[in-house]
Structure 1
Amino acid sequence: MPDRDPARPRFIHYLEAAAARAALGLLRRLPPATASNLGGAVTRIIGPLLPVSRVAERNLRLALPELDATARRRIVRQVWDNLGRTAAEFPHLARLNECEGDECEDNGPGWRVINAHHLRDVAALDRPALFISGHIGNWEVLPPAVARYGMPFASFYRAAANPLVDRLIADMRRDAMKQDVPNFPKGALGARQALRHVAQGGHLGILADQKMNDGIEARFFGLPAMTPSAAAIFALRHDCPIVTGRVRRVGPARFEVIVDQPLFPDASGDRAADVARLTQAINDRLEAAIRAEPGAWLWLHRRWPKHLTP
């Protein structure tokens, strides 16, 4: 009997995809703010009870040792609340828009960009740009928000185990962008494809806040952390501006996209030192954003080495 193609959907995949479509369909029928509130309420109750919350607890004790147990528990609840809201808002992304003028004064669904002039300045350069952020607020808002300024960017992604669910997620992201852009798998092959994309003039987005064992060591909250170096390498090789920023949640399905002043690579001739310097600068900006609102970051992944003790 021939081996089953691992990429071919199995029966369980069809069941999972049907359940995902049903859940997304229900959320899509709700107003965006209602869906957000529902998602946050569910995960805020269930999430802190799950074993993975112990990872968040350890991370908080490592990175923010000044917090007491009550503060850590509050942040863990906020993390789960934000994660549930982000998931429930996902099917509404294509319907959310940037507010203009007086619209920005209300609290309805949508977003506004803080420091939008940085995006316009980078767009005027007419060359590839790198957009760097982390899992902060609703990070899924970043691609469609930046695309509205004429810079749709490709991204790295980790494919879902279920190919049908993975396709569903990809379709919703494409609908939110209102155009088709490539996405590259994490790993060596994806890095080569992304580098080719940038060399051909394309923009690239990277969520640079997770541990990457084949990255380089940099400081994060004063601790050693293996950090993705792709952004620094790409920027130096192709003279790309690096635009860092984050999404701040100001209400249910309501956001501020905060854009930082771009970083420009300044090659010294010492490639390793330049990569380390730019990578550290990115970590410093991400850390500042997380310190400003700790509950908005996804503390649930193992960011620091196991041998560190709180």
Structure 2
Amino acid sequence: MHPLLLRTQARLRRAAKPLGEAAVGALTILLLRSTRYFDPVKTANLFGRVARLIGPLTREQRIGRANLTAAFPEKSPQEIEAILAGVWDNLGRLGAEFAHLDHIWEHDAVFPGKSWIEIPPRCQELFEQLRLDGKPALIFAGHLGNWELPAVAAVAHGLDAAILFRRPNNASANRIIEELRAVKMGTLIPAGRDAPIKLAEALRNGQHVAILVDQYFSNGVDVTFFGRKTKANPTLARLLRQIECPVHGVRIIRLPGHRFRAEISDEVKPVRDASGQIDVAGTMQAITSVIEGWIREYPDQWLWLHRRWR
């Protein structure tokens, strides 16, 4: 193609990009605001079906299939496709549930059978320990089940929490998403250069700091995940080096009948080097291994659609 045509195409793409982002932002706002007016269960069913239909047409389907095939070489192609269908269903349902974050958490300890949420007795005991022991804590989670709900659960049950989150690239979409998250999610700390400083300050103030730890981090430490080397974000372990405190994992698993089970892990002990100092890479490996165990239990509820290995 002639260089002049190539330059013209490049200029048109650059000029169209802001318009495309604005359209995506407007659509996100419209979708989230309108979804709030409909029944959350029916909407989750609809979004799950739509995601199952549209998801396989995207490039993320190929990424997810490659990830699953490498992680579970013993599974047949049919099993892999069934897991992928569940991944899309979970993602669609999560989108619908996100619009109802301010009232989706319903747990009644007196009548647990009537609640959307079930909390096993041991997890309830661990939660009360975290809430009442007067200590800060580091909480890790992964993109499993409904990964937005742990922050809602913390605030609903009186846990003083600070949540690290990543802003969407689209500014318009970010505004509505932050508006929804801010309702019942405690202190929100956006990812960025000053995030570690703010997180350390939150710990010193006695707060419970929560971080998602299961995505690829280019400047991270080496860990093994499903038998393959990858990079993990070391922020949690580095914070632990500064302020030693308990470390627990949390997950909220999707159950049949539009219900969830909230679980807190027992304390995950940090790995230490010969001098007794926190071993950052070793500690992140211990945490990554917990996440892997969770995913093996519920592979169709994890977000296989991003490039975890590179």
Query: Same-fold call, TM > 0.5?
Result: yes
CA distance in 2, matches of 1:293, 1:231: 24
Aligned pair 1:88/2:99, yes or no?
no
Partner of 2:165 in structure 1? 157
Aligned pair 1:142/2:150, yes or no?
yes
Aligned pair 1:97/2:105, yes or no?
yes
Partner of 1:59 in structure 2? 67
The question of whether the paired residues in 2 share the 8 Å contact of 1:240 and 1:264 is answered with: no
Letter in 2 for 1:291: R
Give, in angstroms, the shift of residue 264 of structure 1.
4.2
Give, in angstroms, the shift of residue 69 of structure 1.
0.6
Partner of 2:201 in structure 1? 196
Aligned pair 1:236/2:241, yes or no?
yes
The question of whether the paired residues in 2 share the 8 Å contact of 1:236 and 1:265 is answered with: no
Partner of 1:211 in structure 2? 216
CA distance in 1, matches of 2:149, 2:203: 22
Distance 1:52 1:12, change over 3 A: closer
The question of whether the paired residues in 1 share the 8 Å contact of 2:164 and 2:188 is answered with: no
Q: SS of 1:175's equivalent?
A: coil
Q: SS of 1:206's equivalent?
A: strand
2:289 aligns with one of 284, 287, 292: 284
Give, in angstroms, the shift of residue 11 of structure 1.
6.8
Sequence identity of aligned pairs in percent? 30
CA distance in 2, matches of 1:202, 1:242: 13
Aligned pair 1:118/2:109, yes or no?
no
Give, in angstroms, the shift of residue 289 of structure 1.
0.4
Partner of 1:258 in structure 2? 263
- TM-score, length basis structure 1: 0.86
Deviation digits for residues 186-220 of structure 1 (CA, Å, limit 9, x no counterpart): x4332233223323333211111111121110111
Deviation digits for residues 284-306 of structure 1 (CA, Å, limit 9, x no counterpart): 1101100001000000111112x
Give, in angstroms, the shift of residue 156 of structure 1.
2.4
Partner of 1:182 in structure 2? 188
Q: SS of 2:261's equivalent?
A: strand
- Which has the higher mean CA deviation after the structures are superposed, 246-255 or 285-294? 246-255
The question of whether the paired residues in 1 share the 8 Å contact of 2:250 and 2:265 is answered with: yes
Give, in angstroms, the shift of residue 51 of structure 1.
1.2
Q: SS of 1:218's equivalent?
A: strand
Letter in 2 for 1:47: G
Deviation digits for residues 116-147 of structure 1 (CA, Å, limit 9, x no counterpart): 11111122221211110100001001101122
The question of whether the paired residues in 1 share the 8 Å contact of 2:196 and 2:239 is answered with: no
CA distance in 2, matches of 1:262, 1:85: 30
- Which has the higher mean CA deviation after the structures are superposed, 268-277 or 147-156? 268-277
Distance 1:153 1:127, change over 3 A: same
- TM-score, length basis structure 2: 0.86
Q: SS of 2:75's equivalent?
A: coil
Letter in 2 for 1:287: E
Larger Rg, first or second structure (1 or 2) = 2
Partner of 1:25 in structure 2? 33
- The unaligned stretches of length 5 or more in structure 2 are 1-17
CA distance in 2, matches of 1:13, 1:59: 29
The question of whether the paired residues in 1 share the 8 Å contact of 2:223 and 2:229 is answered with: yes
Letter in 2 for 1:29: Y
1:50 aligns with one of 47, 53, 58: 58
Letter in 1 for 2:184: A
The question of whether the paired residues in 2 share the 8 Å contact of 1:118 and 1:262 is answered with: no
Letter in 1 for 2:72: L
CA distance in 2, matches of 1:13, 1:63: 34
Higher RCO, 1 vs 2 (CA within 8 Å, ≥6 residues apart):
1
Q: SS of 2:254's equivalent?
A: strand
Letter in 1 for 2:303: L
Give, in angstroms, the shift of residue 277 of structure 1.
2.6
Count, aligned residues = 291
CA distance in 2, matches of 1:81, 1:52: 14
CA distance in 2, matches of 1:69, 1:62: 12
Distance 1:43 1:201, change over 3 A: same
- The unaligned stretches of length 5 or more in structure 1 are 1-9, 306-310
The question of whether the paired residues in 1 share the 8 Å contact of 2:165 and 2:188 is answered with: no
Partner of 1:308 in structure 2? none
Q: SS of 1:23's equivalent?
A: helix
The question of whether the paired residues in 2 share the 8 Å contact of 1:111 and 1:256 is answered with: yes
The question of whether the paired residues in 2 share the 8 Å contact of 1:244 and 1:259 is answered with: yes
Partner of 2:226 in structure 1? 221
Deviation digits for residues 86-140 of structure 1 (CA, Å, limit 9, x no counterpart): 011111111123322464224x6x3232311111112222121111010000100
